[in-house]
Structure 1
């Protein structure tokens, strides 16, 4: 199976209206977590981040924010950032424009209920990285559309935890936006890779910041 861990430079050039990585000053990395929060996984992630004094951005599903508002509040309380990942984890390529925009707004309402004065600009990441040009054009005036530089593939259950870690480390550089998932599907690989990833780059003198 072909897996992309590093976003090709050609793709970044072809799609310039998205944020793929940051131009960081010094050794800075940007951890992101998609699809949570959920009680089985997210509190464990927060424990790991606290151990390494790392900050991260959580692209949250709005429905999970409703169900697990206490965990979402903990994310904010511990200095991390919440961002928009649609309310129902919609596939943009398979969703009509009006419904997609309404779903994004529904998630944003939950985010602003939790944090009435959120950091700006508002951040949005399309589930699966799939979004149409019309959806992107409609969202871009109000959101920074965040993709990634490094995809850990932690959700792939055919992938060994060791390879998930090894390839993620290999592809990461200063300014990288790295995607993990605080989800049940990714739990095995993520729980192996995340603490080792944090330890590796902390030892190398990197810091982890929110977007």
Structure 2
């Protein structure tokens, strides 16, 4: 993400500090759903990895058993709005209400004082980000795998993700049906590659 864009959102989390051993922060957007989220959990478990799942509120209400499985395996749930809406195309009151509706569902599953929020598509205005900062840590990323792109060959998706990864990277995958072909190819190989290099994988 260009530095100019990051500069417009100084309160958003884009990356994490480098640590020893090096750590990556894998995040998964758009779930939870029965088919893809358990696959992700299985892959993470092989490496004792922890991840952060940015959940759509509708999916949380449809599949609470999957959300509970995420928590039971030591991962974190976070807010991705209730209807997966853009902060560019919705009025601020409507957007904030959608965030609050998702947070109410999350709070029943995982009570926490300062929740995490990722705006769908990364689309948010500086003013909206400032307002949300009072109640949420807004989380962006410094590595988007683009696993949702059907024209992105799985091998290329993996190679690019590996090339752009740095210690402390906040990495975006998607536990969605749209991303499934790339996710199922890339995630196991990505984990294996960085585990072999001595990296650990932590939740935010």
Indicate yes or no: 2:2 matched with 1:8: yes
Higher alpha-carbon deviation: 16-25 or 42-51: 16-25
Distance of 1:174 and 1:12 partners within structure 2: 18
2:67 counterpart residue number: 72
Name structure 2 gaps, 5 residues minimum: none
User: Gapped runs of 5+ residues in structure 1?
Assistant: 1-6
Deviation, structure 1 residue 28 = 0.5
Over residues 59-107 of structure 1, what are the superposed CA-to-partner deviations in whole Å (9 max), with x where a residue is unaligned? Answer: 0001100000000000001000000000000011000111100000000
The answer to whether structure 1 residue 51 and structure 2 residue 46 are counterparts is yes
Question: Contact between 2:116 and 2:139, CA under 8 Å: does it hold in 1?
Answer: yes
Q: Which of 18, 28, 33 is the aligned partner of 1:38?
A: 33
Structure 1 residue 15, shift from structure 2 partner: 2.9
Secondary structure (helix, strand or coil) at the match of 1:178 reads strand
Per-residue deviation at 1:19? 0.7
Displacement of 1:25 in angstroms is 1.7
Partners of 1:9 and 1:100 lie apart in 2 by: 26
Deviations 1:146-204 (A, max 9, x none): 00010000000000000100000000011000000000110000110000000000000
Alpha carbons 1:100, 1:135 under 8 Å: kept: no
| Aligned match of 2:178 | 185
Q: Which residue of 1 aligns with 2:140?
A: 147
In structure 1, C-alpha distance between the alignment counterparts of 2:29 and 2:97, rounded to whole Å? 20
Name 2:159's counterpart in structure 1.
166
**What is the match of residue 25 of structure 1?**
19
Secondary structure in 1 matching 2:66: helix
CA distance in 1, matches of 2:126, 2:14: 17
* TM-score under structure 2 length normalisation: 0.96
SS in 2 for 1:92: coil
Q: Which residue of 1 aligns with 2:125?
A: 132
Number of matched residues? Answer: 203
Superposed, 1:101-116 pairs within 5 Å as 101-115=96-110
